[in-house]
Amino acid sequence: MDRKDEWSIFFRQCLNKRIRAENFETLVGQMAERSAIKGSRLADTLLRTHPSTYSGADPLVLVYFDILLNRNYISVPDLLSSLLKGYSGNATKMDVDEAGQKLSNGEWRNPTEVEENLFYRIAKSFGNGERPRTVDEARQTMYILSQWMSVMVNASATDSVIQAVTGSAQQLQPQAILVREAFAVLLLATSENAKLLSVLDGSYPKGESRCFLTG
């Protein structure tokens, strides 16, 4: 069995059994020892895993992502990249009600509530200086944020084109607006982050570990 499939089964069982944070932290540590996997694949897998007994966005998914980030099983760029792959704003009007599910064409769309809450969680970690933890994480974060900004700009441009063609304003779903607002908060937090700014101006750590000092 592919390791990604093993993790998918693991996450689904944890969600179905409603495994809480303290127990999940122990279990995920044991799972990581048995079946190591890249952070990007791990983030992809959890985003696409939903319990069979829960409809909509599962709040436990957010708790699990907090633990994966805190234990460095995934990085912020891993999570942002995974979110971008399934960005809900890419869904067509017909797909809106299916957000958070695998669509008929095989594509994936994140629940908007998950996107919004994860953006705020990531913003908080940059706002309080917890992130980035390494120079590489800082650089990769800036790179993926530039991709996100491009997607957001293109989405706004598409809204304007539709308005020009139809003569009426494109009505965004309320939750889509909340996602964009949460992303704006994330951008603000990163623009004020001293560690990210040190990478931009070249004053970042030059040591072998390339880790930022904490505290």
Q: Which of 59, 74, 89 is the last residue of a domain?
A: 74
The pLDDT value given to residue 89 = 82
In this predicted model, which residue has the larger pLDDT, 159 or 86? Answer: 86
Beta bridge partners of 108: 102
Residues 103 and 132 in one domain: yes
- pTM score of the predicted model: 0.85
Q: What is the mean pLDDT of residues 68-73?
A: 97
Per residue in 82-120, pLDDT tens? 999 999 887 554 444 444 555 555 578 898 999 999 999
The pLDDT value given to residue 34 = 95
Residues 103 and 172 in one domain: yes
Lowest mean pLDDT of 56-65, 82-91, 121-130, 155-164, name the range. 155-164
Residues 66 and 102 in one domain: no
The pLDDT value given to residue 72 = 96
Residues 24 and 110 in one domain: no
Residues 63 and 87 in one domain: no
Residues 65 and 140 in one domain: no
- Is the pLDDT score of 160 beyond 70? no
Domain count, the chain: 2
CB 190 within 8 A of CB 149: no
Lowest mean pLDDT of 60-74, 123-137, 171-185, name the range. 171-185
Q: Which residue in 134, 115, 108, 100 sits closest to 205, CA to CA?
A: 134
Beta bridge partners of 134: 211
Q: Which of 74, 90, 124 is the last residue of a domain?
A: 74
Neighbours of 27 (CB within 10 A): 14
- Is the pLDDT score of 162 beyond 70? no
Residues 95 and 181 in one domain: yes
Residues 68 and 124 in one domain: no
The pLDDT value given to residue 170 = 55
Q: Which residue in 106, 119, 112 sits closest to 88, CA to CA?
A: 112
CB 150 within 8 A of CB 188: no
Q: Compute, in degrees rounded to 10, the torsion defined by CA atoms 137, 140, 145, 148.
A: -130
Residues 191 and 107 in one domain: yes
Per residue in 5-36, pLDDT tens? 999 999 999 999 999 999 999 999 999 999 99
Our CA angle for 92, 100, 137, nearest 5°, is: 100
Q: Which of 74, 92, 125 is the last residue of a domain?
A: 74
- Is the pLDDT score of 161 beyond 60? no
Residues 67 and 86 in one domain: no
Average pLDDT score, the chain: 84
The pLDDT value given to residue 70 = 96
Per the structure, the complete domain to which residue 67 belongs is given by: 1-74
How far is it, in rounded angstroms, from Cα 87 to Cα 23?
Answer: 30
The pLDDT value given to residue 176 = 85
Residues 63 and 84 in one domain: no
Q: What is the mean pLDDT of residues 68-94?
A: 88
The pLDDT value given to residue 88 = 86
The pLDDT value given to residue 94 = 42
